[in-house]
């Protein structure tokens, strides 16, 4: 008697991806945590109104600072304590999450658009276009990133007019601009390399032989095949950008004080950390957990979307 053969079932790439991803428990937990953070960020105004009963910039100096202007620690009403002007650290940490996510997502989005566009053009067209774009990438990459970022942030913060003829103004937009301006190159270089490899593949040749133009090939054939690396790299660059925003804010060059930011909160805590540990602890923990979650999710996505580059391989 012949043994019964099991039923062979076809699986879509999406199903394969999910099968692999759900085996990575850490990535799932990280993904769930990020989802939770996103929900928290969206609900921050509601939480601050209905739980804390005050906003991120409301001052409670009389109640929450002493005669020397030193803040008071956590209590039943101020779960994470207060800062030097009596603002609720819990509410500001919550709003800081919004800032981090907004900066990271927008900066990453802009960097992705620039990087993918230029990377695909360089890789696909080759020749002088590739040379030009590659040299621009080399130049930007050779710049001392943090120094230039600090210089640019400082220069654009000097006056209310900002810089570049008023296009870039001090505040959240400036931080997003700076982060995007310096992070697109890594994406562009990666995408260029992948596009160079893709354009020699048979399906591109086939498409071209069927009369497809460059634009159509780029959009219909090349870009869909870059989807996985774009997702992976985006997820991995988000925590970097969150940290970058924190660095800039820590140095006083990020978002204005009125907009809560974890980097700025940590910076404000440095002078009085010994007597007000909560000022550094809570935003610091939030920063660590958020970046860790994005990194773990990014690793999981990479393993699931591109098993050949997995941890085991």
Partner 1 sequence: MFIVALLTALTLTAAACGGGGGEETGELGDPERGGTFRVEIDEFPWEQGYGFDPTVEYVGDDWTLLKTLLIRGLTGYRYVTAEEGGTEAIPDMAEGLGEFSEDGLTVTYKIKPGIRFGDPVGREITAQDFVTSFERLGTAELTAGGYANYFVPLVEGMQAFNDGEADSISGVTAVDDRTVQFKLTKPSPDWDFRMAMPAAAPIPEEAATCFTGYATYGNYLVSSGPYQFEGMDQVDFSDCDDLTPPSGFKLEEHMLLERNPNYDASTDNPEARESFPDRFEFRKNTNPENSYDKLARGEIDYAWATPPPDVIARYSRNEDLKKFMFQFPDNSTWYLTMTMTQPPFDDVNVRKAVNAIMDKTGMIQAWGGVATGIPAEHAVPPTVLNALNAGEYDPYKSENHRGDLEAAQAFMKESKYDTDGDGLCDADACKNLTHITRETDPFPNVAAVVDSSLEKIGITTRLVEAASFYGAAGTPAKPVHITSGSGWGPDWAEPITFFELTFLGTSISIANNINISMTGFTAQVAQNLNSQYQQQEDQELKGLKVDPPAAPVPGIDDRFAACADLEPGDERAQCWIDLDMFIMEEIVPWVPYRWGNDVDIVGPAVTKYEFDTFGANIAFSHVAVDPSKQT
Residue 48 vs 157, nearer CB to partner 1: 157
Binding mask 228-257 for partner 1 (x = CB under 8 A): ------------------------x---xx
Nearer Cβ to partner 1 (20/87): 87
Q: Are 84 and 70 in contact (CB under 8 A)?
A: yes
Angle of CA points 280, 54, 294, to nearest 5°: 45
CB atoms within 10 A of CB 144: 9
CB 307 within 8 A of CB 38: no
Which CB atom, from 115 or from 260, has the smaller least distance to partner 1? 260
Smallest gap from Cβ 236 to partner 1, in A, equals: 32
Q: Is residue 38 within the footprint of partner 1 (CB under 8 A)?
A: no
Stretch that binds partner 1, among 4-12, 95-103, 158-166, 287-295 (CB under 8 A): 158-166
- Which of 16, 43, 58, 135 is close enough to bind partner 1 by CB under 8 A? 58
65 contacts partner 1 (rule: CB under 8 A): yes
Per CB under 8 A, 158 contacts partner 1: yes
Interface of this chain with partner 1, residues 167 to 206, rule: CB under 8 A: 170-171
- Is 165 a binding residue for partner 1 by CB under 8 A? The answer is no
Q: Which of residues 262-301 bind partner 1 (CB under 8 A)?
A: 271-272, 274-275
Tokens of 205: 């040749």
Q: How far apart (Å, rounded) are the C-alpha atoms in residues 139 and 133?
A: 10
Tokens of residue 52, six digits: 């804390």
CB atoms within 10 A of CB 28: 15
Interface ranges with partner 1 (CB under 8 A): 57-59, 61, 65-70, 84-85, 87, 154, 157-161, 170-171, 252, 256-258, 271-272, 274-275
């Amino acid at each position: 008697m012949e043994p019964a053969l099991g039923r062979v079932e076809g699986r879509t790439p999406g199903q394969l991806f999910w099968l692999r991803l759900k085996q990575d428990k850490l990535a799932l937990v990280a993904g769930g945590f990020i989802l939770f953070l996103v929900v928290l960020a969206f609900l921050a105004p509601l939480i601050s109104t209905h739980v804390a009963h005050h906003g991120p910039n409301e001052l409670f100096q009389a109640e929450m600072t002493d005669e020397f202007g030193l803040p008071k620690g956590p209590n039943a009403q101020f779960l994470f304590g207060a800062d030097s002007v009596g603002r609720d650290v819990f509410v500001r940490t919550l709003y800081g999450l919004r800032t981090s996510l907004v900066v990271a997502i927008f900066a990453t989005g802009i960097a992705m658009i620039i990087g993918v566009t230029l990377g695909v053009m360089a890789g696909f067209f080759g020749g002088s276009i590739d040379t030009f774009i590659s040299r621009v990438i080399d130049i930007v990459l050779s710049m001392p990133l943090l120094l230039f970022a600090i210089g640019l942030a400082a220069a654009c913060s000097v006056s209310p007019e900002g810089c570049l003829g008023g296009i870039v103004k001090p505040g959240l937009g400036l931080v997003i601009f700076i982060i995007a301006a310096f992070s697109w190159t890594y994406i562009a270089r990666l995408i260029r390399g992948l596009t160079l490899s893709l354009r020699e593949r048979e399906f591109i040749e086939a498409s071209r032989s069927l009369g497809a133009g460059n634009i159509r090939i780029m959009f219909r054939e090349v870009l869909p095949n870059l989807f996985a690396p774009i997702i992976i790299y985006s997820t991995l660059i988000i925590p970097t950008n969150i940290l970058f925003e924190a660095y800039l804010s820590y140095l006083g060059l990020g978002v204005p004080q009125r907009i809560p930011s974890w980097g700025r909160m940590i910076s404000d805590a440095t002078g009085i950390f010994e007597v007000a540990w909560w000022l550094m602890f809570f935003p610091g923990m939030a920063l660590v957990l958020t970046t860790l979650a994005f990194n773990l999710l990014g690793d999981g996505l990479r393993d699931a979307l591109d098993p050949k580059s997995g941890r085991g391989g």
